Structures are given as C-alpha cells and as structure tokens.
Structure 1
Amino acid sequence: MHTFQLAQKKQETKHRMRSFIITFLLLVIMSQVKAQITSRFSNMGSGGSSSRTTKDSSSKNQAPDTLTITYRRLGEPTDYKMDSSIADFNGPFLRVPANYIYLGNNGSPARPVAFTPRMTAGFDAGFHSFDPYGFNHDNARIYYTNRPYSELNYMIGSQQEQQLGVLHTQNRTDRFNFGFEYQKIYAPGYFRSQTTNHNIYRLTGRYNSRDKRYNATLSYFYNKYANGENGGIRNDDDLDNPRYSQRKTIDVNLGNDASTTSSLFNSTIPVKSSIDQAGFLFMQSYDWGKGDTIHVNDTTDVYKFDPVFRVQYTFKLNKDQVAYLDPTPDTFFYTTHYGWAYSGDTIRAQHNFRTISNDLSLVQFPIRGNQAHFITAGARIENTTGTFLDSDIKFSNLALHGEYRNKTKNQKWDFQALGELYMAGENQGDYSVSGMLSRYLNPTLGNVKLAFSNVNREPSYVYKYFSSNYDSWYNSNLAKENISKLQFIADNPKLKYNLTVNYYIIGNYTYMSSYYKSAQADAIFNMLEIMFSKKFTWRHWNWYADFTFQQVHGTAPVNIPTLWTRHRIAYENRLFNNLNLMVGVEAKYMTAYDADDYSPIIGQFVYQTTQKVQYYAPDLAAFLHFRIKSFNAFIRTENLNTFFATNNFAGPHYPYNNFQFRLGLRWWFVN
C-alpha cells in the first residue's frame, strides 16, 4: 500500500512538471504572437503592408507573407492541406468525429456508432476507449511549411468545461522541419465523479541531407488520460424528478460520497481510470539514385534527386500504462457486476506494457521521378514485456511484410497491395493482406475506390488476461479472429456526396460478455454497413445530411443501431469581404438498440441484451460559426432537447449532459 502511494505521488509530481512546461510554452508562443502583431501594426502605420515583399540590409528579397503548408502521414506519399473549414465543429476543432458515442461527458470513454472491428495483426494491449482523443503514429503529421506557423485553440463551456490546443511548426531550413502539438481536455461534467482531465502531446520532425540521399523522420506522442468513473446513475427515473434539477445531486454507482476537487491543470478524482500511452518512432533511410542541377534563373539553381533504391531502418518504442483506483468501493456495485465480496480494501488494477521493434526494409522505385510508385520488402523484430500486480510476461515476434504502391503522376490511378505475416513468436500465424484500387473518373463522376482486406489475429491481450488486487482471470480458450472486409467508396466533390459501403465476414469475434469476462462468437456472421453524406445547396442555404445504416446477418454478439443520422441546416454567406458566416441548427438521432454497457475496471465496453437505449428526441444544437481571416469562432448551444424531453442515453445508466453552452476560438498565425 505504501509503495502504491509513493508511486501515486511520483505520478502527481511528474504531472505538475508537465503542466509547468506547457504553461511556459504557451507564454513563449503568446509572446511571439504579440511580437508578430505589434510588428505588423507598426509596418502598416509607417505606410507599409504586411503582405509586401521587403528587402533586408543586404538587399536580398524576402519571401512574401503567404503561407504554403502541407503535411504527410507516415508511409503515405500523398500531400494533405490544413483544414480551415468552419462547417463542422467536430472536425478540425473538437477532433472527435460526430458519429462517436461517448459516456455523456467530453473526454469520457468513446466508441464509434459504425461497427469498426480492429484489423491489425500482431500484439495489441486492447485499451482503446480513449483513442478518439489521442495522438498516435498513424495520425502523425509530418509538416512542410515555407513560414513558421502557429495555431491556438481554446474552448470554454458550461460546468467549467475547457479545451486547449497548441500547434507550432516551422522549417528551420529547407531540409529540416519540426512540429509540436498539445491538447488539453478538461470537463467536470454534470454528474458526480465524472471529471475528465487529459493531456495529449505530439512532436514530429523531418530531415534530409544536402544531397537528398539521407532522410530521417521522428514521431513522438504522449497521451495522459485521467477519467472519473461513476458507474452510471443509480436510478434513471431521477432525471425526470424535479428534486434533481441539479444533476450533481443524483446518486451514482461509484464515488457517490467522495469529494472531487478539480481545475484545468490539477484534479483530484476519487474513482479514476488512468491511461498513459507513449510512442517513439525514428525512421532513417539512405537512397541511391540520380541527381540533377536545374537552372531556374541567373542566380538560382535547384538540386533535384530521384531515388531508385532505398534502405530504410525504423526503431519504434511503445508504452501502455493502465491503472484503476477506487479507495472507497461500493459494496452493491462490485458484488452485482463483478461478484466480489466487499472486504473494505482499496480496489486497484494495473497493466503495463512495453514493445520495442526494429524494422529493416528495402525499397525499389521502378519509375524515376515518381516516389509514389514503389515496392517494399522488410522484416521486423518485436520484443514485448508486460508487468501486472501479480505476474509478468515477456515474448518476441518476427514479422515479414511487403507493399506495392503505384499512384500515377496524373493522380488518376492509385493501386496498393499490402501483406504482413508473423513467422515466429507469440503471435505466430497472425497475418494481414489488403488491396486497393482507386480511379479518378472525371469532374462529374468524381473518384471511385474498391478495397479488400483480410486479417487473422490473436485477440487483444485484455481479452485473454486481466488482474486486480481482488481477482485475476485468464481465458485460454480464445482462437484467432478472422475478419474480411469488402469496401466500395464513391467521392464526388461536384455533386457534393460521399458513399461508403462496407461488408464484413467475421469469425471468432471476441467481446466482453460481462464486466470481467470475455468470450467469442459461436459462428461466423456477416455485417453490411452503408454510410452516405450529401450537401444540398439552395442560394445561401445548405443542408448537410449524414446517414449510417447497419445490418447484421446471422447471430452476432454485436450491439449497433440500425440507423444513425445527423443533419445540419445552415445559412452561409461571405459578408464584408472578410467575414465567412454560418448559422443554423444541428440534429442527431439513432434508432433504439441494446447499447453496450461499460466496465470501469477493465475500461471496456460490454455486450448486453437486457437494457434498450432509445432517443426520446433528437440531440439538438443551435450554432453560429464564423471566420474573419485567420480567426475562427464557434458559438454553440447544445442538448436543447433536454428542455422538453428526458436526457438521451449513451449506454445503460449513462445519460448525456443537460443544456450546454460552448464557445470555441481558433487562431492561426504566420510568423
């Protein structure tokens, strides 16, 4: 017990240090922004213009005050642009898709409405309830920008909810770029023991040598989630009782009598799930090929290098630290859901995983000048260790992988074939294969895509073993999951629609059958999933319609709504040359279904068939979004349906919040 408390104090000390560092970084960035604004106003006051090309003391022309910024994903040859749209609050600002179900409070455990099985081979710890909020290597952005770029986001809402975001990236030279991002999510919530307090960090870097033969890429992220667990409210009827108009007075299942003290950078949460995820990736490559010096004008020459063959080495380190703590356990809740006899002891669980991998790949570029056309073959060694309250594990894996990609220079055809096989180790026999063919037809018909993927994988480790100081269990009867996916996508910018059709064939589907036990589906089942989005326009009025239809064929332990839909009707116009205005209403609705329950100790959604969740009225919101040059504002009133109907539920005993006001601000600066 003493050792555990010391560990907690060390974690709190580390958290305070990180908070101090973030505050310091914010002050530095704000000082740079202030200096930039002051400089621009002084230039304008002297008759200058912030967008005019100027000369320094050496009479060399400086670049005009315009921004060119793109980024790439790891392993993806496509250039992406920054999203400055104000149409979707959930997109570039909140960064959580609108079609996610979360347990009532911003930052709480979440899952997608659309059925989304995990389709990756190899070891997986299995803790993904907070993935929508965090960073990882897959969504890392490797930037290129001709000018230093900074972005600040801030949101404040009802019940002291706050969200903070910082982004800064710049090219120190044409050969080196770094990027830093920070995200803070803080929401005390409307109900007891519901506070969320997340700190999310990302650092990226890119370097290439002067002769363009050596390249290095860095990706680092650290996600620190702190989530208050209340086990849901005890009595759903309390929501309609006038005595409980203040939702904090409603009894909950966990932490009911404990006090919570919280602030933006320091929270004391009585019953808490803590997840720390860290990932470090360093990729190096050396190219052989042909270089040419291109003469641009009398004073400028540009060196262009086209690789033909590449040797690439990637080092990766991932850590997952998962903990649960309840110092004052509730007898009824743990007896009912976990079958434990209450002994008065603190309930805690702790799972720590670390995986180190070394990957060596060989890459061939068949056509000079097209780096989006390549063939890759490689091997990877993974070493994983796990530390729990009562035992430890250690194992290794050897995986072979290959890829063929051909994205043509005219951007019309895109073909990809991927394969990965675990030859030896704990995950021997795991594999994944996938193929994709995309074709841009014309401006009228847009782009169409066909894809296929199949994965054979060991179930995530949380389904095989879990331990706490009250009980431990091991499920040794789990076979490998086998999931196939057929996909068709039609994207049409001219007609403003997107259609995605997914068809799944699933065997040995693994799920949580109770709060503390796992199981697998008895038979193979199929799943049809259709997602359609369309924008209708009439003059300055726009209607954004989103639909998701799902249907299971066969007996399956899967809880999904048959239909989910979202509609945004808005007046949009450009006023006074600089003001982009969007004002309207938003409604979300889904059909009734047996929504998954949630097990706080193991942090997993649980299959159940005894409690149906239905929307008493659509989730309603009214909003005013606008952008003036590089300043965005999102003014929103949400959950308007609670004025005339009972709160809608995310899952059994987990209601969404009451009426909520949110003000979101977003600035970006070009230095």
Structure 2
Amino acid sequence: MRLVKRPFFGLLFLLMGYTLHAQTGTLRTRNLGNQSSTQGNAIAYDRNGRPMRNSGGNDSLKTRNSLADSITIFYRYFDSTRNRTIDSSINDFYTRFPLPYQYQSLGNYGTAAQSLLFTPFMRPGFDAGFHAYDIYQFTIQQTKFYQTTRPYTELAYLLGSKAEQLINVLHTQNRKDNFNFSLEYRFSNAPGNVKNQNASHNNFRFTSQYKSPNRKYGLYFIFLSNKAASSENGGLQNVKRLDSLSLNDPYELETRLGRSGAARRNPFNTGVNTGNIYKESTLFIRHFYDFGKKDSLVTDSTTYKIFYPRFRLEHTLRYSSNSYQFIDNAVDSLLYEQYFNRTVLDRVNIDYNDRWTNIVNQFSMLTFPDKNNQSQFIKAGIALQNLSGRFDSILRKSTYNIYALGEYRNRTKNQVWDIEARGELYLNGWNAGDYEAWISMKRLLGKKLGYLNVGFHNVNRSPSFIFDPLSRFPIDNRTNFGKENVVRLFANYENPKNGLRISGNYYVVNNYIYFDSFFLAKQEATLFNVFHVSLEKKFKLSRYWNWYTEIHFQQKTGQAPVNIPSLLTRNRIAFEGNFFTNLFLSTGLEIRYHTPYKADGYSPFVGRYFYQNAETISNRPDINLFLHFRIKSFKGFVRFENLNTLNTSKGFEFSKLNMVSSVYPSLGLWTRVGVWWNFIN
C-alpha cells in the first residue's frame, strides 16, 4: 500500500489557504486585442497580478466602483486563435466529469475505457500503442491558455460511493498584462466495486505565455505529467453468482487475476500489485518572432500601441518521456491456464515494460496576408523527431522521423467563413510514408439558420510499436502488418438559436489492425465502411421544463471486425430556472440506453479491448436522478445513478447489474456529491 504523494496535497492545501481571503465577484468576459496602453490612468498590475489604477486622489468618501470585484477572463485552446469564455452551466454533469457518457470503463471509474462510438485512432507517425487510459489524461491539445485581469482559482471535490473521490485544482493569473501562468492538478481514486479493481490517476499541468512589450516575440510553455495506476482483475470467475450474493456486494466474488481470498476496500491504496501503470511527462515550448507593422490608436486620454504581424519565424520543442508497464506480483498459474490459456510459472512475478523518449524539433514560417485578421495565415515547416526506446536491461531502439507540414486557416472578419486545411507527410525515417490530410469549411448560413460545417480527414499510418518484436508486451503472432488507412467524411449542422445540432460521419477503413483475443492481433485486409449520424436537440416543454435528447445511430458494412451498438441515446428531462436572485437550478432524470450488441472483450496484459463475436450483452437503460445548482460562483452536483439496478424480486435491493462485457459487471446504485467553486482574488 502506498499513500498519495504529500507534495500534491500540500499544493492543494496551499491553494485553499490562498483563496480563503478571496472575494467572490462578478465574472465578466471579453476579447482583448494585440495592444498595450500608455495612458496615465490605465490599468496596471501589482506584484500579485491584481489590476490597479494610478492614484487619482485619496478621497475616502469617493463612491465605490461597482466593478471593483469583477474579472475579465477568457482562454484559448492550444494552437487556436478563438477566444472562449468560462463555462458556468450546470445542466450537464459530463462537461466537468472526465469520463464522457459515450464511454464505458470496466465497471469502475479510472479503469480502461472505450468509446461506444466508432472512433479509430487517426494520428500519423510514431505511436507506442497504449490508449486505454487516454480519456483520463491531460493533453497538449486540450491545454488552455488564459488571460485574466484578476487571479482566478477553481476548486472541485467529488465524493462517490465506495470511497470514490475526484479532486481538481485550477489557478491562473496575469503577473503583467503580457505574462500569464496557470496550474492545474487532478487526482482521482476509486477502490472499485469488485476485487482487484482499484484505480488512481494523477494529472498535473503548468502553462505560461509571454509576449514582449513590443509584441514581436512570444513564448508558450507547457509542462504536463500523467500517471495512471489501475489494478486488473481479468473479470469475474463466475458471473452467475451475481444473482446470489449473500451481502449484496460484488466485492465478495473471486476474480481471474490478483490476490484471491478475503479483501477489503482501501480508499488510501493507490498501489498496484496486478495491473497497468502508465506514466507520461511532457515538456512543450513554442516561441516565435514576428516581423510586421507598428501602429497606434489615440483616444482622448489614451494611446494604444498596436503591432500587426505579417511574417513569423517559429520554433517548437517537445520532449516526452513515457513508460508503459503491466505487472503481476500475485501470479497463479492455474488461473492463467484456465481463463487465458496461458502457461506461466507459478509465483514468478510478471513485468512487461516499454519505455520511450521522444524529442521533436519543429521549425516553421508563417505569413499573415491580411494584417487586420490574425486568424488568417499560411504555415509551412519541417520537423525532426528523435526516438529512443528501452525494453529491458539490454534491449534498446533508437530511430528518427523527418516530416514536413503545412497549414492554412482563415476565419473571416465578418465571421461568415471558417476554413482550416492542414497536412503532414513523413519524408524519411521509421514512419516514412505516413501522412495526414485535413480540411474543414464552416459557414454561417444566417443568424436564424445557424452554421454548416463539412470536411475531410485522411490518415495513413504505420502499425503501433506494440506490434514490433522488440516490444516486451505479449503478442503471439507479430507479423509485418501493413499501413492502416482511414478516410473520414464529416458534416455538422448547428443552430444555437433552436438548440439543434446534427452530425454525420462516414468512415472508409483499409488494413484495420485489431486484437481478437488476449494475445493475438490481426489485420483486416478487406475495406469496410462505418456510418454514424447523430442528433442533439433541446425541447422547451414549458417555462421551467426542458428536454435534452442526444441520439447516435451507427452501422458497419459486412463482417467488419468492429463491435458497436446500433443505437446510443441519452435523454435528460430537467426542471430548470433562475430562482430567487442568485440560485440557478437544474434537477431531473437522465436516461442512457444502447441497443444489445457483442461488446468487446478486454486484455489486461496489453491494455487493449479486443474483438469477439460470441457473446451479446443486453442491458437495461441507465437511469440517473440529479440535482444541480449554482449560487453565484458555487456549483453543486448531487446524483443518484444506476437506479435501473433495482431488483424487485429481492425487495428494495439494487442488485440487477448491467454488464460492460461478458465478465465485467457495471456499478449498482451509486451516489456522487460534488462541488465546483471558483474564487476571484
């Protein structure tokens, strides 16, 4: 047993103490331009990043500024030019919960997760091959860069049944108007509903951005760290015993992996005796120097210095260290033989481990055709990637990639068109011949008609390195798999005024690589298609009653080795409104349902879901009762989930569990109580 590392809790308590003196104010958002002010009474920043005005008098009877406790804050996602505002909505719990409703885990939060929608891996170049815990991780692509006039902090704590907990801390502030930093930490731990299923995740992210006073030089910095530690039990030995539990607790049942016999849940246990441990540390630096035109804007009492970039030199450095490990310190050779058809030595520990170091240097040039539109640019560059792998005390692998890249973006000033096109081509190295092509065109049809977006995405990629003979993970039939090619055609129609969104995806897949058992991989030589269409709509039933519906329909062609439900739907009927002065309420019923289908099996030894065509699961709809509310900056979430597990044949007992797959049960009645609280300092 190991305790959560003290430095992380120290960080949490430090920020909580820091926010005790915070005054909750008004949250305002706006867009800030690429400009600086030289007026005598302009807003400046003190040593704590708080805005202050130059003193214009010390009259103690001066009327207090009603906006003194307000904040202007917005953010941009990494590699985006679009400003976004903080989300204060409360009607959808999954905008804050890391595991989306479209995903399902192995029955416990934090375990290996898979989407119920067809989502092939579409990234060219090197890939180690381990993605079962991607949904829980912090990523470069999801990183937010903030701009704020006041220090901003958000604290979140979620407590679930069986000692499940989730902690999230976010803090950002501008030390000056041209320098911002933010840090975010997330910890989760879930002991599990059955034995040997405890899962914990530690995620940390630090960002900063800087622009020189003359606006010519800029730097973006990201450091992130992810650790996933998930015990693996291989599923239940006898699923039928779920119907005859003596204590109405699946924890009493024996599993196929891990220590057998008596066991108890421990909310402080983050160690793994049998399971997967994935670690990632990434350092990302992007800096640039602009050439362009200086200008100024003069008002009655203010002069704003403005700089229009026309040409940019950009360098990006990315350093990543990854470790993927499966261990079993409680090997039982009889269980391996009986359930996995695998011969191993009894009581001899198992340790599969792949470690990679990845260094990418990217050099790019950008040009801005319209000085008044920084959302229009053309980019061209080249990158060198150096890879180093370690597989045990002896085996090593060093290789490289050279790839070219290009990009064009244009979000027109009148916001009618939003065009994006980009591509990558691997010219030489380990993944030579890989490529990616993406184009997306979005148009405003009218204020009442909404937006239409159509696009094309094509990826040609080499097999992941887990299929290479050097990998220590157990795959019995490693062969020379060919490159996988996936084409995606997509269209989206969105009408915000009517709360309507319709989306369509059409996939064409060739040379699809997949697992079809615990230790065997295959490649489907026959080209196949998958069609997916979805609809999201908000219906106003009455003044306070709303119905939110989301429907996904998907269909594959022929005998494609893909297991997906034909229909997935989620419906929420909620009583919502603004009551009293500061109380916002959303309470009601949430129902998720998918049609019966042959759910994938799961191999804990390689961290992969695998295709099976023998057993079909047919579940009751998931029914959740929720109460969400917001009072100023305080948001509360109270949920009673999986009411569908009520077993009337045994009285008032919640023991009719749905199944994730043939040997993994889902959760019974599950309560979650969470708070999200933001502070302005």
Aligned to 2:40: none
**Maintained 8 Å contact 2:25/2:71:** no
Taking the aligned partners of 1:215 and 1:136, their CA distance within structure 2 comes to 21
Taking the aligned partners of 1:660 and 1:248, their CA distance within structure 2 comes to 15
Matching residue within 426, 430, 433 for 1:426: 430
Q: 1:173 to 1:330 in 2, by over 3 A?
A: same
Cα deviation code 1:88-117 (max 9, x no counterpart): 1111x2132111111111111111111001
Alignment of 1:221 with 2:207, yes or no, is no
The 3-state SS of whatever aligns with 2:518 is coil
Taking the aligned partners of 2:55 and 2:25, their CA distance within structure 1 comes to 17
Aligned to 1:33: 19
Taking the aligned partners of 1:511 and 1:620, their CA distance within structure 2 comes to 33
Alignment of 1:202 with 2:205, yes or no, is yes
Instruction: Report % sequence identity.
Output: 37
The 3-state SS of whatever aligns with 1:120 is coil
Aligned to 2:657: 647
Alignment of 1:324 with 2:326, yes or no, is yes
Taking the aligned partners of 1:660 and 1:567, their CA distance within structure 2 comes to 19
Taking the aligned partners of 1:376 and 1:329, their CA distance within structure 2 comes to 54
Aligned residues: 641
After superposition, where does 1:465-614 map in structure 2 within 5 Å?
465=469, 467-468=471-472, 473=476, 475-538=478-541, 539-614=543-618
Taking the aligned partners of 1:576 and 1:231, their CA distance within structure 2 comes to 52
- Give 1:262 shift: 6.9
Aligned to 2:673: 663
Aligned to 1:130: 133
Aligned to 1:48: none
Letter matched to residue 654 of structure 1: Y
Cα deviation code 1:350-394 (max 9, x no counterpart): 111111000000000000121110000000000111111362211
Aligned to 1:49: none
Letter matched to residue 446 of structure 1: G
- Give 1:23 shift: 1.7
Cα deviation code 1:325-345 (max 9, x no counterpart): 111113244224252243431
**Maintained 8 Å contact 2:332/2:347:** no
Taking the aligned partners of 1:476 and 1:100, their CA distance within structure 2 comes to 31
Taking the aligned partners of 1:152 and 1:244, their CA distance within structure 2 comes to 37
Taking the aligned partners of 2:156 and 2:537, their CA distance within structure 1 comes to 28
Matching residue within 411, 417, 421 for 2:421: 417
Q: 1:27 to 1:20 in 2, by over 3 A?
A: same
Aligned to 1:308: 310
Unmatched 5+ stretches in structure 2? 27-50, 59-63, 648-654
Taking the aligned partners of 2:185 and 2:267, their CA distance within structure 1 comes to 14
Cα deviation code 1:167-189 (max 9, x no counterpart): 00011111000010111111111
**Maintained 8 Å contact 2:622/2:642:** yes
Taking the aligned partners of 1:192 and 1:267, their CA distance within structure 2 comes to 14
Taking the aligned partners of 2:54 and 2:159, their CA distance within structure 1 comes to 42
Taking the aligned partners of 1:37 and 1:208, their CA distance within structure 2 comes to 29
Q: 1:431 to 1:38 in 2, by over 3 A?
A: closer
The 3-state SS of whatever aligns with 1:237 is helix
Taking the aligned partners of 1:313 and 1:552, their CA distance within structure 2 comes to 43
Aligned to 2:42: none
TM-score (normalizing by structure 2): 0.90
Letter matched to residue 183 of structure 2: F
Cα deviation code 1:9-67 (max 9, x no counterpart): 9xx7xx86xx2222222222112211224999xxxxxxxxxxxx997877499873222
Aligned to 2:352: 349
Cα deviation code 1:171-221 (max 9, x no counterpart): 111100001011111111111011111111111110000000000001121
**Which segment drifts farther, 534-543 or 359-368?**
534-543
Taking the aligned partners of 1:521 and 1:601, their CA distance within structure 2 comes to 22
Aligned to 2:412: 408
After superposition, where does 1:163-182 map in structure 2 within 5 Å?
163-182=166-185
Aligned to 2:43: none
Taking the aligned partners of 2:644 and 2:402, their CA distance within structure 1 comes to 54
Aligned to 2:652: none
The 3-state SS of whatever aligns with 1:420 is strand
**Maintained 8 Å contact 1:95/1:133:** yes
- Give 1:655 shift: 0.8
The 3-state SS of whatever aligns with 2:466 is helix
After superposition, where does 1:15-54 map in structure 2 within 5 Å?
19-37=5-23
Aligned to 1:363: 366
Aligned to 1:620: 623
Taking the aligned partners of 2:252 and 2:515, their CA distance within structure 1 comes to 32
**Maintained 8 Å contact 2:274/2:329:** yes
Unmatched 5+ stretches in structure 1? 1-8, 41-52
Alignment of 1:67 with 2:77, yes or no, is no
The 3-state SS of whatever aligns with 2:497 is coil
**Maintained 8 Å contact 2:657/2:666:** yes
Taking the aligned partners of 1:259 and 1:374, their CA distance within structure 2 comes to 63
The 3-state SS of whatever aligns with 2:18 is helix
TM-score (normalizing by structure 1): 0.92
Alignment of 1:631 with 2:637, yes or no, is no
Aligned to 2:390: 387
Taking the aligned partners of 1:256 and 1:559, their CA distance within structure 2 comes to 31
**Which segment drifts farther, 347-356 or 421-430?**
347-356
- Give 1:522 shift: 2.4
Taking the aligned partners of 1:421 and 1:343, their CA distance within structure 2 comes to 48
Cα deviation code 1:135-161 (max 9, x no counterpart): 011111111111111000001111111
Aligned to 1:104: 107
Quote the RMSD (CA, aligned, Å).
Answer: 2.2
**Maintained 8 Å contact 1:465/1:473:** no
- Give 1:468 shift: 4.6
The 3-state SS of whatever aligns with 1:589 is strand
Cα deviation code 1:501-526 (max 9, x no counterpart): 00001100011122112111120001
**Maintained 8 Å contact 1:364/1:374:** yes
Taking the aligned partners of 2:568 and 2:112, their CA distance within structure 1 comes to 19
Cα deviation code 1:577-614 (max 9, x no counterpart): 11001110111111111111111111111111112111
Letter matched to residue 240 of structure 2: D
- Give 1:467 shift: 4.8
